[in-house]
Structure 1
Amino acid sequence: MHARTIDSLALDSYQRAARVVLANHLITRTYPDRIALPLIRRWATELREDLAELFGYRLEVTETTARLFPVLDKLDAGRPARTTADRLFDRRRYAYLALALAALGRAGDQITLSELADQVAAYTERVDGLDLAADRAGDRDAFVDAVGWLAARGAVTLADGDAGGWASDPEAGEALYDIDRSVVFALFRPPRALQHLQSVTGLLGEEAGGGDTRSPALALASRAVRRALVEQPVVYADDLAEPHRSLLAQEKLVQEVEQVTGLKAERRAEGVALIDSSGRLSDVRFPGTGTLAQVALLLAGEIADLVLDLDNPVARIPRPEKPLADLAEQLDSAIPMTTVFAPLADSMDIFATEEDSEFDEPEEPEIPVYPFIESAWIRDTVKMLAARYGATFAAQWQADVPGLTTEVVGLLERLQLIERIDTGASGTPPPPHDLGSGLLIFPALARYRGAIVTIRTRAETELFISPTDIGAGADPVSAAHATAADPAVDHTELVATEKGSGN
């Protein structure tokens, strides 16, 4: 492993490069910023070999792009694509994005937005249930969101015009884009030919990721555990089967990941979490600024106090199973089977287990139980926080406490601190924007108990929040809105900070 031999003065630079490529998978001249690609190119050889050895990942670096091809061990719906306005992609936007990539791959050096829309519209005629009609505002908005996603990553660059103008009125507005073909080709590089797959599960596993399939099973399991450490907020031992659970407990394996990434591992009896104080590896920084992050931290503290109250113990229940097949079946139902090349189609079933001579038959693990809190308590607690600190919230959330509750719970679930369940539907996950029957509370949430709350008051003459306050955690958007709306009164802002890690 090269990270062990790099000089201590240069190790920080190498670790920053590793965090950038693990966080973004695609690096271009402008994405995620202009200094990322030169940094990756400096350490290309070392990164390529270390990432392959430790994680089974493949890294390709050119003059204009760096592309990491990760290994997917499971389907994960928790990291969806987002628009430039931070809205989640729906199925239509994903479809337009894929078809736009196909059209750009056949285009020249430039293309207008209307020409690209016409090509995508022609492709949609070959997909049942999908179309792109330029006379429908909803279709235009979805298409512009897909193009905006590509523009953010440098696949296309606006040369003239305005995409928003075309979305408002395609007869009057237009946009011209330069195409960066190297980025287009780097974006869509599936590990296997999609026309040979009958199921999305064919993309899972180290074989699909380009790893060494001749490696012993122990090496494959070790790489899977290292991947979990850098891809998940928390790796709980109870979620792992043997031999992965035993490997997670090995200090050497965790130290290897620490040395490559520069992160520090926080070990508990329940599992391991890599703490990223740099913010360059995490897609969600927590604790953070803004109303959602601040309320989430306060809610986490209230939940921890409730769970740790020995005088009033909460109910504990086992975690309902969430079979991978459910999500796989939903994705497979959207595959246009007419495009599958039947003679070479792969009907691999990744749910089938194989005999593995390297490991003994594992003992039946004890089923863990977790604290369970009903949805009514969660709603009441957020209402209490809103009544106490609501004047400091962004205006959007002051008027929508139910919506705030849903978003805050969603944030905590993305961080793997809680899980929404529906006890009345055989453990079936609740639908989006629904709290279900309640929440299962995971051990890592205890580290956020005892949040320190500070209410800062600004005088009526203080029109703008100071940069030091922003750095300390204030919400500049809500603060500026409140001041402009009512300049005749003093204004307050909420700053909730983490007290420290719980044991």
Structure 2
Amino acid sequence: MHGRTIDALALDNYQRAARVILANHLVTRTYPDRIALPLIRRWATELREDLAELFGYRLEVTETTARVFPVLDHLDAGRPARTPAERVFDRRRYAYLALALAALGRAGDQITLSELADQVAAYAGRVDGLELATDRAADRDAFVDAVGWLTARGALALADGDAGGWASDPDAGEALYDIDRPVVFALFRPPRALQHLHSVRGLLGEEATGTTVTAAGTTGAEIARRVRRALVERPVVYAEDLAPDERPALAQERLVAEVELFTGLRAERRAEGVALIDTSGRLSDVRFPGTGTLAQVALLLAGEIADRVLDIDHPLPRRHPVAEPDAALADQLDEAIPESTVFAPLAETRAAAAPADDLDPPDDFQAQGDRPTPGYPLIERTWLRETVQALADRYGTTFAAQWQADVARLTTEVVALLERLRLVRTIEEGLLVLPALARYRGAVVTVRTKRAAELFVTAADTYGPGGTGTEGN
């Protein structure tokens, strides 16, 4: 591992490069900023070797792009594609994005927005249930969001015109884009053709060598790489979420220290698991605690939940999660796969479901030194709604306008944020409170108000509920 031999004065620079490539997977001349690619290129050799050794990732670096090809051990619904306005992509936007990439791969050096839309519309017409009708505003907006995603990453660069004008009126507006072909090529490099898969699980467990890791052939080095991947990909790694053969690796001081040295982050250990704390903000895609109504209400709600859990006079019931979220998500995605598009001659056989005995810890699990947990505290939905409503009544004047009149949606979004951070887990009966949430108990609220004699408020005087806490990954 190169981190052990890099000079102490240069180590921080190397760790910054590691965080940038792990956080973005694709780095171009303009994305995520203009200093990222030169930083990656400076350490390309060291990063390539350390990423392969520690995580099994493959790194390709060219003059214009740097791309990490990760190994997927589980499905993650917590990091969707987002529009420039931070709206989550829906199925239509994902479809337009994929078809736009296909069209750009066959285009020249420039293309107009209307020409790209026509090509995507032609491709969409071949897919059952999908259509891009440029006379419909909703379709145009979705298509422009997909183009905006590509533009943000440097695959397209606006040369003339305005995409917003075209979205408002395609007869009056137009936009011309330069195409960066190396970026387009780097963006779409699937490890397997989707038409050759019956299940999304076929995309999981792909090692850098291109071979699938099976349970029977797993080695100690492969187990260690899985645990390191979990540490940099998940906000919190709970021992209970790992396979029985991976839990001892999580407890190894050396393994966690290697990830700390590579990333420059600090590991916070608890009996239930490990979390990497990112105070730099260069690896986390979500800052928490953070600014904005959602982050602040989430912190307030976390404090309320922690107080409720610690109320010994009114103990909460405890529940075990019934099914793993990954399994449920995989089943949902598999149900959406149109079997008519699978190319049967090269299709892989659908993986048989593992027997129930293989999904649960063995009977002698406790005898192996691990104690089964008594379950997680359960917060009922009624209490949750009442608590968020109480927070809105108390601090609502400091909320963003869109949330003041829609407390129900605010509740949904705040819970989604806490679940994305692996602080809670949603089940049918309510919320399961996960151990890491205790980290944010005791939040201190300060509400800043305008001075009576003040006519205008400066940016420094804007007010809202705030809390203390540590920046977390």
TM-score scaled by structure 1? 0.87
Corresponding letter in the other structure for 2:441: R
**Aligned twin of 2:369:** none
- Cα pair 1:319 1:368 within 8 Å, conserved: no
Within a 5 Å distance, the mapping from 1:98-497 to structure 2 comes to 98-207=98-207, 210=210, 217-322=219-324, 324-349=326-351, 351-352=353-354, 363-364=364-365, 366=372, 368-422=374-428, 437-459=429-451, 460-461=453-454, 463-467=456-460, 479=462, 492-497=463-468
Corresponding letter in the other structure for 1:201: R
- Give the superposition deviation at 1:363: 3.3
Counterpart Cα distance in 2 of 1:325 and 1:402: 28
- Cα pair 1:69 1:209 within 8 Å, conserved: no
Alignment gaps of 5+ in structure 1: 423-436, 470-478, 480-491
Counterpart Cα distance in 2 of 1:12 and 1:438: 43
- Cα pair 1:157 1:178 within 8 Å, conserved: yes
Counterpart Cα distance in 1 of 2:435 and 2:278: 19
- Cα pair 1:155 1:183 within 8 Å, conserved: yes
Corresponding letter in the other structure for 2:465: L
**Aligned twin of 2:58:** 58
Corresponding letter in the other structure for 1:498: G
SS in 1 for 2:157: strand
**Aligned twin of 1:475:** none
Counterpart Cα distance in 1 of 2:181 and 2:312: 61
Counterpart Cα distance in 2 of 1:465 and 1:305: 35
Q: Alpha carbons of 1:370 and 1:498: their partners in 2 closer, same or farther (altered >3 Å)?
A: same
- Give the superposition deviation at 1:350: 7.3
Counterpart Cα distance in 2 of 1:188 and 1:499: 36
- Give the superposition deviation at 1:295: 1.0
- Give the superposition deviation at 1:386: 1.4
Deviates more, 1:260-269 or 1:342-351: 342-351
SS in 2 for 1:96: helix
Counterpart Cα distance in 2 of 1:334 and 1:106: 28
- Cα pair 1:419 1:440 within 8 Å, conserved: yes
SS in 1 for 2:224: helix
> Is residue 69 of structure 1 aligned with residue 38 of structure 2?
no
- Cα pair 1:448 1:500 within 8 Å, conserved: no
Q: Alpha carbons of 1:13 and 1:372: their partners in 2 closer, same or farther (altered >3 Å)?
A: same
Q: Alpha carbons of 1:273 and 1:29: their partners in 2 closer, same or farther (altered >3 Å)?
A: same
**Aligned twin of 1:431:** none
- Give the superposition deviation at 1:194: 2.8
Tell me which of the two structures has the higher relative contact order, counting C-alpha pairs closer than 8 angstroms and 6 or more residues apart: 2
Query: Residue deviations 1:434-483, cap 9 Å, x none?
Result: xxx3110001000101111112122252624344x6xxxxxxxxx4xxxx
Q: Root-mean-square deviation (CA), in Å?
A: 2.3
- Give the superposition deviation at 1:327: 2.4
**Aligned twin of 1:486:** none
Q: Alpha carbons of 1:462 and 1:243: their partners in 2 closer, same or farther (altered >3 Å)?
A: farther
SS in 2 for 1:419: strand
- Give the superposition deviation at 1:345: 1.4
Counterpart Cα distance in 1 of 2:141 and 2:270: 46
Query: Residue deviations 1:118-162, cap 9 Å, x none?
Result: 111111122111111111111111111111110110100111111
- Give the superposition deviation at 1:168: 1.0
Query: Residue deviations 1:411-452, cap 9 Å, x none?
Result: 111100001110xxxxxxxxxxxxxx3110001000101111
SS in 2 for 1:111: strand
- Give the superposition deviation at 1:242: 1.5
- Give the superposition deviation at 1:88: 1.0
How many residue pairs were aligned? 461
Counterpart Cα distance in 1 of 2:305 and 2:362: 38
- Cα pair 1:18 1:47 within 8 Å, conserved: yes
- Cα pair 2:73 2:204 within 8 Å, conserved: yes
- Cα pair 1:456 1:495 within 8 Å, conserved: no
- Cα pair 1:92 1:142 within 8 Å, conserved: yes
SS in 1 for 2:176: strand
Counterpart Cα distance in 1 of 2:23 and 2:211: 20
**Aligned twin of 1:428:** none
Q: What's the % identity of the aligned pairs?
A: 73
Corresponding letter in the other structure for 1:340: V
SS in 2 for 1:371: strand
- Give the superposition deviation at 1:387: 1.6
Deviates more, 1:343-352 or 1:241-250: 343-352
Corresponding letter in the other structure for 2:124: T
Corresponding letter in the other structure for 1:29: R
Counterpart Cα distance in 1 of 2:247 and 2:199: 29
Q: Alpha carbons of 1:351 and 1:63: their partners in 2 closer, same or farther (altered >3 Å)?
A: farther
